[in-house]
Each structure stands twice: as C-alpha cells, then as structure tokens.
Structure 1
C-alpha cells in the first residue's frame, strides 16, 4: 500500500496581500499527477486544510473539486482538522463522504476509530487474520475545550495529546488480537525538535505548545501537520510541511511531501516528493542604487521580493523605485548600515528641542526616516500649518 503524506494546504491563504488560489490549484494539479503516476492508494492531509474557520465559497469549491479528482484518480483520502480549521464545519457530512472514499477525522469521539485498509495482494475485503493498515486521525486538540472529555486534569497540549495517543494504543492492542495491524497516525501538533517558520500560528495559548517526540513511539508511521517546513524528526515521525511557501522565512524550504510504502511487514520505505513553486521568493538587502543596478539580482525581477534597504537615510519613493525593476516587491524594510553604535535621540527629546510647530513636524520626519525635510517639504509643511492657523482663527 502506498500513502502520500501532505498537510497544511491552507486553502484560501494570501501571501502578503497576494491571493494564492491559482498557486494552490497548481499544487493540486501536481498532487494529482503524483497520485496517478505513483499509484497512490491513500492521500493523507494532516490538518489546516483551510486557512480560516470560515473559508470563502471559491475556496470551498477548490477543496470539493480536489477531493473529487483525487478519488476519481483511484486514491482514498484521510484528513484531519488543524488549528486554522473549524472542526465542526470541516467535519460536516463526514459519514456521507466516507462512502465516496473521503474519511474525515475531526471529532474527539473518533480518535480510536481508525480508517481500515486491507493489506493483501488483491486490495479487496480484508480476510480474517490478514494484516491491515489502520489510519488514525488526531485533529488539533484545543486543551481547554477537550481536556475534560479526554479525562485529563491539566489542560495542556501534552496531557490531551497523551490521552489521545493512549486511546489509539488501546484500540491497536484490541485489533492486534485478530491479526497484524500497521498503524499510521495523523496528528496536527507541534512536536519537540520541529523547526518553525513565521507563517504558523502559535499553539502555546492554552498550555505548553510542544509535545515530546516519544509520545509517538511504536506507531508504524506518524504523519505530522502544523509546521510548514518538510522535516524528519525520526525515521517514522515526519512533517510534510506546507505545499507552498506562506512567508519569506520559508524561502529556502524545499516544498514537498512523503511517499510511504507499507508491506505485510510494516513500513518498507519513505521517499520525498517535491512540489515545484509557481514563483520564486527573493530576500534582497543593500543600498537602493546597488539593488537597482546590479545584474546579480536580475533573477529576482520575476520573484516575490522582500527588500531591506541599508541606505543611511530613507530614499524618497523607495517602493516605487524598487517596483520599477522588481514589480512584485511585497515587503520593504529599512536597516541603515551606519546606524550601529549610534544613539538615536528619542522623539520626546526632539519635541523638547522644537522651537515651533514647524520644528515639531520636521523633527518627526527626521526621526522616522533618518533625514531632514528638504525645501519642497518645508514649503508644503509651512502652507499646511498656515492653513490650519487660518481655519482656527475663523472659528
């Protein structure tokens, strides 16, 4: 049996204000190609299917279309809810969806109710005593909401995850009496040792965020979701990561998934699958003139760009100038190279030194951008202040 471990689709997400539905459609096309070419039996989605609890209609349609096409290609789907999803909404009609090969696990009550796949040469109905692959889903568990239902006294991520894992272990033990059980666990959580990025929502509210890796000892394979970097925590515990970069901190990620082969003896191999990004991400740093002139950065002209300017003072119309060469500059920051070691006067001290209203305005400009007002700006400020004075006199 061949499984494809994915997670964190975040359908409907934007990238610094840029819609990503087209990029997400592109990812789904790549996933479908892998399902067909690699004869994938089951696609796993370990949470954060949507980016928000109330997705837009076009986003819901995209997921609907993806699930139909995956099942038409011959694969089943097992998915869980993440901290970005509404478990209730994502789990709607789950019993009906199951008839079509889409198995949704979003409820605490279903933690020890696995999706069973017979492991035999004909891929037909399981014979008595024949090995099976049991896929369990641990959705995102908000400690304060589920602790009591799981019988734990402390509403922490560790306690509720441990309680969920114990329920699964007990179910595996019962099923193993009838024949071999190869367990696969989906869990949307932050496991110790994982490397985070800027685009993930912190799970620490409501308890300690990370759970120890050894909670998942003994399972055939643990398919984790939540962290957006594809990574291997142990041979059998892995994050697939998000299929697309959702922040510039992910610029160096190699986006992909894991292809897992399970035979009669258990997991036989785990191989990487890579997704091709529709757009590159560029993180540029330097003086404005250098960035605009250097051939070294020509590749970034078609990329989404994050730019940090190191000019000693903020250049006028910096974003407009950058976008003339790098049209998709999405983030602009300033970090003057010669600012190190200098003590910048506080704005309150500048106010104390100002002799009049014009001095207050000029002091503000100098404070926020690192250079004083020029003659054109001084003239505009004088006119504005005079207009305000005259309006006040009329009142």
Structure 2
C-alpha cells in the first residue's frame, strides 16, 4: 500500500505579516497532483491543519477546497488534529466526511478505533492519535501518569489491544502529533512542554509498522518506521536550510517500510 504522509499545513499562517495562503494553495494543488501521479492509496495528515484554534475564514475556505479536491481523487484521507488546531472544530462533521473518504480523528477516545483499508495483501489498520494534552486527556485515557509519555503510552495500549484482536497479518499505521526524542526542532513550533516533559521515546510506537508523525517542521527519520514529514513551507528563518517534502511510503505485504521524499513547491 502506498501512503503519502504530510503534516503541519498551518493554514492561515503569515510570515512576518506576509500572508501565505497563495503559497499554501500551491502546495495543496501539488499534493493532489502527487496523489494522482504517484498512484497513492491513502493520504495521511498528521495534525496542525490550521495555524490557530479559530482560523480566518480564508483558511477555512482553502481547507474546504482541499477536502473537495482530495475526495474527488477517490483516495482515502486519514487526518488528525494537532496542538494548533481546535480538535472540536476540526472534528465537526467527521461522520459525514468519513462517508466521502475523509476520516477525521480528533477525539482521544477514538485512539483504538482504526480506519481499516485493504489492498491485494489484506487489511491495513490506521490509528489516529490527535495531539494529547496531558491535563485534558489523562483521565479519559486512564493514563498512569501526568505527562506526555503517560498519555501516549495509554493511547498506544489501546492501539495494541485493538490490533491484537485483528486477523494475523494485519498491518498497522499510527498517526500522532507529538515531540519524539531524537527529533530536531525549529523556531516555528509551539512549545508543548506545559503539562510534563514534552519528548517521548520512539519506542513508544513499537508494535506498529509505521508511525506518521506531525509537530516538528523539519522532515526527518527518527527510525525507519518512525518519521516526521515536516511542514510544507518554511515558517521561520531557522528553516532556511530545510528541504520541504512529503514522505511517499510503500508498505509491503510483510509490513516492511520504504520511503521516498517528494519535494514541495518553493514559492
């Protein structure tokens, strides 16, 4: 199964008072073209769709346009909320959008409920872990501690429990929005250290075939199975040297992962 992994669109963001909507529109057109040209089977969007909880109307309109174009490709989309998004606002209409093939995962309670897609080799279960603010989700997830590690462990316990009950050979993908140890930060990510130590170990995702991460704006490989796509545009001068890309991930029948970086347009 071929996956296109992207994140951190930050629709509505400006760069030193210069609006970026035209550049973001060009990226989204490129994303849709890539889905068609590279025969992608599923699009993964790992959070921070918007730049703030209450985005400007023009950003909402661009998001709506992007969803229509993606739905028009007939390729399923799995999308989670990030720390910049309002999970409740982004998740409005999730049931209806799911019927169109756009699967929003913004509720922590749904961490263990996957979107299941199939190819010639069987099922692939996609688990969406939206940004988990420890103080807000600890009780709901029955986490054993108060920090980021504890709530992500609790969410991953639900993922593994569901996966254990599925047929042998079911492949698995997790989308998560978090700061994973070993990742390199830039100046444009919002600090998430409030509520506990921000960084979580990559081993927290053991047991799944691929973890599609969002939050850090540089494209990077933590392990072969744990990767950040990075943001499609530079949102700070610290990203001047970044090569902005998406990950094209091929998930083999045995769960083996191979990745290729697909360049984003540079305005």
Report the TM-score, using the length of structure 2 for normalisation.
0.98
1:51-77 CA-to-partner distances (Å, cap 9, x unmatched) read 000011111110111011012123111
Partner of residue 90, structure 2? 90
CA distance in 1, matches of 2:119, 2:30: 27
Residue 12 of structure 1: aligned partner: 12
State how 1:269-280 maps to structure 2 within 5 Å.
269-278=258-267
Residue 110 of structure 1 is matched in structure 2 by 110
Unmatched runs of 5 consecutive residues or more in structure 2:
none
Matched, 1:157 2:160: no
> Could you give the per-residue CA deviations for residues 3-48 of structure 1, whole angstroms, max 9, x where no partner exists?
1000000000000110000000010111111111101111110000
1:118 shift after superposition:
1.2
- 1:261 Cα deviation (Å)? 1.3
Distance in 1 of aligned mates of 2:229 and 2:88: 24
**Which residue in 2 is equivalent to 1:31?**
31
C-alpha displacement of 1:268: 4.5
Q: Can you give the 5+ residue segments of structure 1 that lack an aligned partner in the other structure?
A: 121-129, 279-395
Kept in 1, the 8 Å contact 2:115–2:125? The answer is yes
Give the SS at the match of 1:241: coil
Residue in structure 1 matching 2:129, options 138, 146, 151: 138
Cα distance per residue 1:155-201 (max 9 Å; x no partner): 200100010011101110011xx342110000000000000000000
Q: How does 1:1-395 map to 2 (within 5 A)?
A: 1-120=1-120, 131-175=122-166, 178-278=167-267
1:241-270 CA distance string (max 9 Å, x none): 000000000000000011111232223521
Could you tell me how far apart the structure 2 residues matched to 1:110 and 1:277 are? Answer: 36
Q: Deviations over 1:208-235 (max 9, x none)?
A: 1000111112211000000000000001
- State the 1:152 CA deviation: 2.1
For the 8 Å contact 2:48–2:82, the answer to whether it is kept is yes
Counterpart for residue 366 of structure 1: none
Give aligned pairs, total: 267
Rounded to whole Å, the distance in 1 between the matches of 2:18 and 2:256 is: 40
Q: Which has the higher helix share?
A: 1
RMSD: 1.0
Counterpart-to-counterpart distance in 1, 2:168 and 2:222: 29
Structure number with higher relative contact order (C-alpha < 8 Å, ≥ 6 residues apart): 2
Change (3 A) 1:71 1:267: farther
Runs ≥4 residues deviating over 6 A:
none
For 1:170 and 1:62, the matched residues in 2 are separated by 37
Q: Deviation string for 1:128-152 (max 9, x for gaps)?
A: xx72111101100000011011112
1:340-383 deviation digits (Å, cap 9, x = unpaired): xxxxxxxxxxxxxxxxxxxxxxxxxxxxxxxxxxxxxxxxxxxx
Q: Secondary structure at the match of 1:266?
A: coil
